[in-house]
Structure 1
């Protein structure tokens, strides 16, 4: 399992990921392009202003799978949620130290180390939450990526009336910052060629998800915000693979989305009957380089969709392309533009969740759309747009 760093398509910064089908390096990016100034995430399109806060949780029932010197699993969970507050301090995208470590890890030079920390977000830090009994969506990022790489999607979901819990899986990304400024760097990053690595990662992430659900639905002070009967999970790369693993482990997760992630958890022959959606780049076309979706498609026995976006790359389902200009990276013209990839990701993930957590039928999920011609429905029309 050899996974190569992608430094083009704008996302080399943050979303080159292990634990997916290999993505070859692209030399078409122009690393000497002039930086455009601080990046800004697109505004959410829902009716609600968005608040955000961070929780720091410790699972004393199990040791950390990566740090053998600690006997408890520590997790940072970022929450996004609807609020009535429209003014206040915007939440930071990441800390300057996290930005520095990201730049170092992905070989980005020629711009200040704190560039990524200056990315403009839309959520108000520590705003008071509005509402109660809202559906909950758990988000899980790709391997080596912090949870911040899915911020645009998280803000969109919160603006549409969801509570979002984004999990930083400690020691699986280049940096997770805990209170007091302590930074947990990536201990798992030198293990991705080990036999059974992907299977072990998704098993551990499923345990993280179940622990977080226990905390949020019963022990957290804000648990009234959440409707325990309406919980879904979505993730990118191995975070998407972890959605399958979490659904197999925990029946509270009613629906799942895998965004361009090779799957590892084996679905039993009896099948997985809860709603599931694959959404990926052309490498996930049936019969393509990654055959894990072909295998699992047959075992999804409930409502299911398999979408492929023409022009998408592995990173297109993250914030990475949106940050390219700030880093002086010019994506190849053949790659789906950053704003469009964000729009497509938001549109289809929101439609899936609205249908399965809010019982609002979404015709967008029934067939190809003239509004979004890049999206093919597999196995019938994917790759034909």
Structure 2
């Protein structure tokens, strides 16, 4: 809970205590509580901002303030009610206040974790259209493939700009954005309205930090049906350590993507057959390759921007989560411009002729991987297509380790611990898509290992964590080739 939200809840309970237990003659106490609570209520509403989870607290606080102030008025009639009714009403009020407070705690206004790198972070968003590629996910044959791309980079922020909101700050765009979420989940729009208060640690359109050498770059792909928004903390963390990070929204495969003209696209990708995975994977791989082309244009000045000459094209990496992780592997294998890659808990969609990958790569899997591996090896003699593909994937992982790469898993995590979804609410754990590990701790562990990997492969520094087990992170387990 935010500061004035906590103060508001405390003042509301204090007012209730005053009404129940403080004598009417204690005028100074009552007036002090009434005036103080009024100030807290106004500051919370107009500075921090209203949110629906605290509606009952707002109503009760306003009502208690009026009663407390008027009960000390000489014109106020001294009404007496029976103890049973008095304490029954009080119990009901307390229950309602606890429910409202609980909603505000478990559906919080969250901010992204503080940066642990030495640099501040700037961000800039680009709208790119691939005129050489038709959009195959829509019915309009004239459509070209459009992508929204967000760049994160080190900055001084010398103008002291305010931190950017996580979601679109334009009111109309934000409204369209949350309408896409709410309609997909069959919930009313207001449920997500409080997201407008969530902040990143980044500053929009500020100047890139001057450097004597260009910055290495990492491209980042989200998972199927999510978006680049769910990887903002990972992008910020790498940028705070001296990387340029480029996050991609794979249009029509996101929960929502908003374009500069106000269009909002949602999820329409079909993934009903095994072949669909490969077809969509090809689209995503081409997305990443196209964005690499645009990065080259930014660096050369073909696209006018502040990034001219600031990007180290000889040290480019790619990472992703889930389907985006599989895309990171596929792009690393196919594109000679990519030097190293990371797959965060993504099952591969392309395994044929991929086992001879000779670039540094790291697979990071969730905590259930070891158990799944044991069960799979018991039943791996099955002849079905899925079993064959998984067997080939394990063979690829084995080759990655033999080539000096890594396959690790993190105990206590589940699939969505590799995204920012774990910060949205503790209630998400009940669904099983995030694990028992504390969200910020799990995020920090992933960030540290990704940073260590890219530091070594793209900067030639660090690499201590990926050498093997570390007492600082007992949750991280390394897989040996013979286990696969």
TM-score range, shorter chain: 0.7 to 0.9
In 1, the alpha carbon distance for the partners of 2:215 and 2:260 equals 28
Which sits farther off after the overlay, 347-356 or 131-140?
131-140
| Greater C-alpha Rg | 2
In 1, the alpha carbon distance for the partners of 2:255 and 2:354 equals 37
Partner of residue 29, structure 1: none
Structure 1 residue runs of 5 or longer lacking an equivalent are 1-31
Q: Which structure has the highest helix share of the two?
A: 2
Partner of residue 5, structure 1: none
Alpha-carbon distance change, 270 to 364 in structure 1, aligned in 2, over 3 angstroms? closer
Partner of residue 58, structure 1: 129
User: Shift in Å at residue 93 of structure 1?
Assistant: 1.3
User: Shift in Å at residue 57 of structure 1?
Assistant: 0.4
In 2, the alpha carbon distance for the partners of 1:270 and 1:314 equals 24
Partner of residue 202, structure 2: 123
Q: Matched residue pairs, number?
A: 349
Partner of residue 113, structure 1: 192
In 2, the alpha carbon distance for the partners of 1:281 and 1:376 equals 10
In 2, the alpha carbon distance for the partners of 1:213 and 1:374 equals 34
Partner of residue 157, structure 1: 238
User: Shift in Å at residue 270 of structure 1?
Assistant: 6.2
Partner of residue 319, structure 2: 234
Partner of residue 206, structure 1: 285
User: Shift in Å at residue 288 of structure 1?
Assistant: 5.1
Give 1:142-181 correspondences, 5 Å limit: 142-181=223-262
Query: Would you say the 8 A contact 2:366–2:415 is kept in 1?
Result: yes
In 2, the alpha carbon distance for the partners of 1:172 and 1:264 equals 16
Partner of residue 38, structure 2: none
Partner of residue 44, structure 2: none
2:116 is the counterpart of 1:45:
yes
In 1, the alpha carbon distance for the partners of 2:259 and 2:335 equals 27
Query: Would you say the 8 A contact 2:219–2:317 is kept in 1?
Result: yes
Q: Specify which of 241, 264, 267 is matched with residue 349 of structure 2.
A: 264
User: Shift in Å at residue 125 of structure 1?
Assistant: 1.1
Q: Specify which of 244, 248, 251 is matched with residue 333 of structure 2.
A: 248
Aligned to 1:113, what secondary structure does the other structure show? helix
Q: What RMSD, in angstroms, separates the aligned Cα atoms of the two structures?
A: 2.6
Structure 2 residue runs of 5 or longer lacking an equivalent are 1-100, 169-173, 377-386
Q: Specify which of 247, 261, 272 is matched with residue 193 of structure 1.
A: 272
Aligned to 2:412, what secondary structure does the other structure show? coil
TM-score after normalising by structure 2 = 0.67
User: Shift in Å at residue 364 of structure 1?
Assistant: 1.0
Query: Would you say the 8 A contact 2:341–2:362 is kept in 1?
Result: yes
User: Shift in Å at residue 201 of structure 1?
Assistant: 1.9
